[in-house]
Amino acid sequence: MPPHQPDAYLPSLPAHLNGHDGSNRSRHGARQIAADTDLEAIRLWLAEYAGSPHTLRSYRKEVLRLLIWTTQGLGKPVSSLTREDLLAYEAFLASPPLTWTDATLPRHGPARRLFKGALSPRSVRQAVGILSGLFNYLVAAGYLAGNPLALRRQRGHGLARRATVERYLNQKLWHFTLAFIDTLPQASARDRQHYERVRWLFRLLYGAALRASEAAQAKASDLYQRRGRWWLAVVGKGGAAGDVPISDALMADFARYRAFHGLSGVALPDEPTPLIMSIAGQTETPLSPTAIYLIVKEVFRRAASALADTDPAGAMTLRKASTHWLRHSSASHQADAGNDIRHIQKNLRHASIETTAIYLHAEDDRRHADTTRSA
C-alpha cells in the first residue's frame, strides 16, 4: 500500500493479536463501524484525518508505537489493554530501551526507529492524549466497551479520576438563556441598545469560544475571509495567536449588531471598530473585560430567577455561570456534536490536547444511560 495511505505502516497481526476477541470489546449496543479487528478499527480512525497530513503522521506514529509495544511486548491486542497496561506504557515512553532508540534502524517502514530517545513529560502527555482520542472514538463507534485511559489522573490532582469540565451549560440551559435574552425590555432607546448588546455578546462569546479579554480587544479588522470562509484572528492567553472559524449565522448576528449602530453590515478590511462597543455605544471604544463579565453575570442572574420555579437545579447552575462558562459550553457542545478533538483544541488555542479532552462528555453520558437503563 502506498506510504501516503493512513495505514501504510501499520503491521499485520496474527489472529490471536488482532483484537477479534479482545477483552475490552463491546458486545452490546449499536455498532457504528463494521470493523471487527483492531487494525480495521484503527484504520478507520486514521482515515478521518486523511485530509490533514501533519495530524495524520503524528497520530499514525503514536498508534504504531502502541501497536508494536502492545503486541510484541505484552503479547496482547490493543482491545485488551487495561489501565495497568497503559500506566506501564507511559513509563515506557518516558524511558524506552536502547533497542527502540537504536540509531542504526531505518528511518522508514514498519521496522523503523520510532524513538530518538526518551520523551519529555509534555510529549508523553501529548502521546497519551492522542491515544485517549483513539479510545474515545472506538468507544463512540461501539467497538470498545470503555476507554482504559479515562481514569488517568490529571496533573495537580490527588484523585485518580478523569478530569472533566463542569462549568458549562447543557443545550437546554443554553437555549433557555438565548430565549430569556429575547424577553429583555426594548421599549426605550437605552433598553434596545442594552438588548442588542447582550444578544450579540452572548452569541459572540459562545460562537467563537472567546475569553472576556479576547472579546474586549477584538476589532472588526480581525475578521477576515479565507477561501470564502470567515475567520477571527485572536491573540489569547500568554500572547498566543490563533484563528477561530466564524459561522455565517454569527456573521449575520454581527451585521445585525452593526446595523443597530448605523454601521455597514460588513466591516472594511482595516476598520478599527471593536466587536463589542462601549456601554455608550461609541463605535471607537470597546467594552472592557470587566464590563463584559458584569453584564454576563447579571443576565445569568436574571435568567436564573426566571427559571427558579420550574427548574431549581437549572437556576442554581445559571446563578454560578459567568463569561468563561460560555467558552466551556461552546467547547462541550462541539465535542458532543462529534467535532474532531484536534479542531476543538485549535479553536480554543490550547497548547495540549489533554486540556481539550476534559470537554469530552459523551462517553460519560453513554455510561450513565447504560447503567441506569434497567434501574
Decide: 46 and 56 in contact? Cβ < 8 Å: yes
Domain ranges for the chain, please list them: 15-164, 171-359
- Rounded CA separation 326/119 (Å): 35
At position 372, the amino acid (one-letter code) is T
**pLDDT digits over 145-175, tens only?**
999 988 776 554 443 344 455 788 999 999 9
Asked if pLDDT for residue 259 goes beyond 90, the answer is yes
**Cβ–Cβ under 8 Å, residues 293 and 212:** yes
Q: Are residues 177 and 169 in contact, defined by beta-carbon separation less than 8 angstroms? A: yes
For 306-334, the pLDDT digits (tens) are 999 999 999 999 999 999 899 889 988 88
Spatial distance between the Cα atoms of 40 and 218, rounded to a whole number of angstroms: 45
Q: Which residue has the cell 451549560?
A: 169
Among 131, 126, 171, 177, smallest CA distance to 323 is for 177
Mean pLDDT for the chain?
Answer: 84
Question: Under CATH, which number does the domain 171-359 receive?
Answer: 1.10.443.10
Its pTM stands at: 0.56
CA distance 163 to 158: 11
Q: What is the pLDDT of residues 28-41, one digit of tens each?
A: 777 888 899 999 99
Please give the Cα distance from 54 to 275 (Å, whole number): 33
Which pLDDT score is estimated for 107? 63
Q: Is the model's pLDDT at 82 over the cut of 70?
A: yes
Q: What pLDDT is recorded for position 140?
A: 87
pLDDT digits 0-9 by tens, 221-243: 999 999 999 999 998 776 778 89
